[in-house]
Amino acid sequence: QQALMCFVEHGVPGTTIDMIREATQTSVGSLYHHFGNKDAIVGAVYREGMRDFAMLLKGYLQDLPKGQALSEQDAKDGVKALVFANVDWISQQPLWAQYVFQHRASVVGQAKLNFNADSNMFNSFITNWFAPYIEGGFIKDYPLELLNAFVTGPVHNYARHWLAGRHEVPLSEYREDFAEAAWSAVRSS
């Protein structure tokens, strides 16, 4: 959290190891021993934020029915859960969300490989969760990246503006509206 605060306040390029050391009250040696370099810290903070979001989403989806007797309502509830997880996480973790939106390109080297591995596992989880609803004809058979764009794209677009102070109405105020719009975009019938 302290490294996150440094990156948000000073930007990734403007944050030094010494700033992180001071904020975390650890030695430079400990930071280098644990992470190796600043790029690894940038990646670790990014990865932790994404893991935090993934855990929230998995919790939302695990509360929904999954099995043989699937329905259109179950599919809609899954789409809404994906939207709600995005809205809720961004609303509850605005600094982390801002960091994730702004610094994806800053994740490089081994940190990028680690994040990509996590991302692949997360995408497999999403694909596997929604597959029965696509196969059952409840959700349009879009490639994952397009399905994701339809479901989370509007939330992320609004969130970027809200986090930057360009929209006054909190993201959470439009939670249901985003969910209904996402469902309208991906439902089969």
The pLDDT tens digits of the residues spanning 156-174 come to: 999 999 999 999 999 999 9
The pLDDT tens digits of the residues spanning 61-108 come to: 988 876 666 899 999 999 999 999 999 999 999 999 999 999 888 889
The helix/strand/coil state of 188 is coil
Residue 110, both tokens: 């081994």
Task: Return the residue matching tokens 């105020």.
Answer: 173
CB distance 126 to 85 below 8 Å: no
pLDDT confidence of residue 51: 94
* Size of the chain in residues: 189
pLDDT confidence of residue 105: 87
**Global confidence as pTM:** 0.90
Q: Please name each of the domains of the chain with its CATH number.
A: 37-186 (1.10.357.10)
pLDDT confidence of residue 167: 97
The pLDDT tens digits of the residues spanning 108-160 come to: 998 889 989 999 999 999 999 999 999 999 999 999 999 999 999 999 999 99
Residue 18, both tokens: 């010494």
Ordered alpha helix ranges (H), 15-143: 17-24, 28-35, 38-62, 72-92, 94-102, 109-135
The helix/strand/coil state of 181 is helix
pLDDT confidence of residue 159: 98
Q: What is the mean pLDDT of the segment spanning 182-189?
A: 95
pLDDT confidence of residue 32: 86
pLDDT confidence of residue 70: 85
